[in-house]
Chains A and B, each alone.
Chain A
């Protein structure tokens, strides 16, 4: 089975509200986590990353929270806009020094912004 998964396949929010997308991972050796945004017909776009020695990291309108105790990752998007509509993936990697394992992605959450 997948080592990374998402709780909700679809999330619908009102424009201007905050969005929270959740992700669970099972590999306790994972030490690097990334959130990607993928719009229809495009490749995944890097949003924000976090390493296991941190529990929070902020970017522009986005915040990633990492809870290693329960192996949970979340992406918070402030004041969501129509352009935020996309599928969001969390991905994890256990950096073994050689990076041989690749990123493991979850299935994705489709974020829909209601006007």
Chain B
């Protein structure tokens, strides 16, 4: 069975640009969460979606937005990119709402902002 998949693997953008990252959860999983992992640190929670609704948001500016589609895949959008947005962006899926079950992470998208 396929695990969580993310695309693209790597991405280089310029300051001020916009980026869209994509995630497909494990088949049957209805919850998708997004995390940002800066080099040398643990992942930080950005969003959680469950059944296409936003269920939680971390301490990130409004430049960050996300959505979940009817097939439970998800997109993370970041506008007006800053150098500090350079990080590994991780998507995690779970059967139920976060905290009530195991979360499985994808390989991440490495975003570099120059």
A residues neighboring B (CB under 8 Å): 4, 31-32, 34, 36, 41-46, 49, 89, 91, 93-96, 98-108
Cβ of B27 < 8 Å from any Cβ of A?
A: no
Please tell me if the beta carbons of A34 and B45 are within 8 angstroms of each other in the complex: no
Compute the total of residue contacts between A and B using a CB distance below 8 Å.
80
Please tell me if the beta carbons of A46 and B99 are within 8 angstroms of each other in the complex: no
Knowing A43-B107, A107-B42, the reply to whether A102 touches B98 (Cβ < 8 A) is: yes
Please tell me if the beta carbons of A101 and B45 are within 8 angstroms of each other in the complex: yes
Please tell me if the beta carbons of A98 and B97 are within 8 angstroms of each other in the complex: yes
Interface size class of B (residues with CB under 8 A): 20 to 34
Q: How far is the CA of A42 from the CA of B110 in the complex (A)?
A: 10
Task: Name 8 interchain pairs, CB-CB below 8 A, sorted by A.
Answer: A34-B102, A36-B105, A46-B104, A46-B105, A89-B42, A95-B97, A99-B99, A103-B43
Q: Which among B45, B50, B100, B103 is the interface contact of A95 at CB below 8 angstroms? A: B100
Q: How far is the CA of A4 from the CA of B43 in the complex (A)?
A: 12
B7 to chain A, nearest CB (A): 13
